[in-house]
Amino acid sequence: MFDYHMHSTVSFDGKDTPEKMVQAAVNAGLKEICFTDHIDHEINVEKEIMVFDQKDYDAAYTGLGAEGLKIRFGVEYGLKPGNQAQFREDLKRRDFDFVLGSIHMVNEMDVYLEPYWSQRDIPTAYREYLEETYACVRAHEDFDVLGHLTFISKGRANPTKELLRYGDHREIVDEILKELVRKGKGMEINTSGVDRCGGYLPTPDFLRRFRELGGEIVTIGSDAHTFDRVGQYSREACEILKDIFGYVCTFEGRKPIFHKL
């Protein structure tokens, strides 16, 4: 079992230390994990609190280890349609194993928070999120896997927490998936939506479609910000990927490794 998306106290919103997260991974019976702390340059936030300090990152993870558990070191990078140069610069900070590209903002508005929702009805909020995602996957080359494609569903201020459905946005979703395939990028099945909005982010039909279109790379992530969520629903997600792909991926030095399920 694998968990390729988690945040420790290195991230501005992570609640538990790397050691505590590692112990939780061992207790959950995981074989391999990857820390993916946030680098998100939000211009509306006064200081760059959503960008970890590289010194903190290196200090927190140096020498971290546990018997029987492989630990990789990555980043969850906030993609915007115009931040390619900043992204390339940030990737020079160290040799990351894995780079998750995530869309947390639309037009510089954080989709997790109230202002985004007070200006749009739900269908518009979802559609604009997908349009921004498409613009980002077209603009960027430097990520490995697209994080939580339907993240918008779990936004804290989303009044419905309704899952974004493939059938409602077929055309634009297909364009996003085709672009990922064309660039050789992967998708994530993010398990953090199961408790919060009743399904994976995205749901398995998106992954099945990605596979149909020629997609090959797929990872599992809990998006844990606390130790008790490490590896949550990883076993169930493995079963889903076993059925669709027959394997799951991990990364080392930005290269995918395929594990038969």
What six digits make up the tokens of 261? 């399920």
Confirm or reject binding of residue 97 to Zn ion (CB under 5 A): no
Query: Of 73-81, 130-138, 176-184, 227-235, which part binds Zn ion (CB under 5 A)?
Result: 73-81
Least separation in angstroms between CB 190 and Zn ion: 8
Confirm or reject binding of residue 16 to Zn ion (CB under 5 A): no
Least separation in angstroms between CB 210 and Zn ion: 19
Confirm or reject binding of residue 37 to Zn ion (CB under 5 A): no
Q: Binding Zn ion by CB under 5 A: which of 8, 9, 102, 232?
A: 102
**Cβ-based nearer residue to Zn ion, 49 or 261:** 49
**Cβ-based nearer residue to Zn ion, 100 or 240:** 100
Least separation in angstroms between CB 39 and Zn ion: 11
| DSSP letter for each residue of the chain | -EE--B--TTSTT--S-HHHHHHHHHHTT-SEEEEEEEE---TTSSS-TTB--HHHHHHHHTT--BTTBEEEEEEEEE--TT-HHHHHHHTTSS--SEEEEE--EETTEETTSHHHHHTS-HHHHHHHHHHHHHHHHHH--S-SEE--TTGGGG-TT-SS-PPPPGGGSHHHHHHHHHHHHHHT-EEEEETTHHHHHSS-BS-HHHHHHHHHTT---EEEE--BSSGGGTTTTHHHHHHHHHHHTSEEEEEETTEEEEEE-
* Distances from the Cα of 24 to the Cα of 130, 135, 239, angstroms: 34, 37, 21
Confirm or reject binding of residue 40 to Zn ion (CB under 5 A): no
Among the listed residues 87, 73, 18, the one whose alpha carbon sits nearest the alpha carbon of residue 253: 73
Confirm or reject binding of residue 76 to Zn ion (CB under 5 A): yes
| d(C-alpha 159, C-alpha 161), whole Å | 6
**Cβ-based nearer residue to Zn ion, 76 or 110:** 76
Query: Of 18-26, 89-97, 221-229, 239-247, which part binds Zn ion (CB under 5 A)?
Result: 221-229
**Cβ-based nearer residue to Zn ion, 15 or 247:** 15
Least separation in angstroms between CB 103 and Zn ion: 8
Give me the residue whose beta carbon is nearest to Zn ion: 102
**Cβ-based nearer residue to Zn ion, 56 or 247:** 56
Confirm or reject binding of residue 223 to Zn ion (CB under 5 A): yes
**Cβ-based nearer residue to Zn ion, 194 or 247:** 194
Residues 121-160 that bind Zn ion (CB under 5 A): none
Query: Of 54-62, 70-78, 105-113, 159-167, which part binds Zn ion (CB under 5 A)?
Result: 70-78
Q: Which residues bind Zn ion (CB under 5 A)?
A: 76, 102, 223
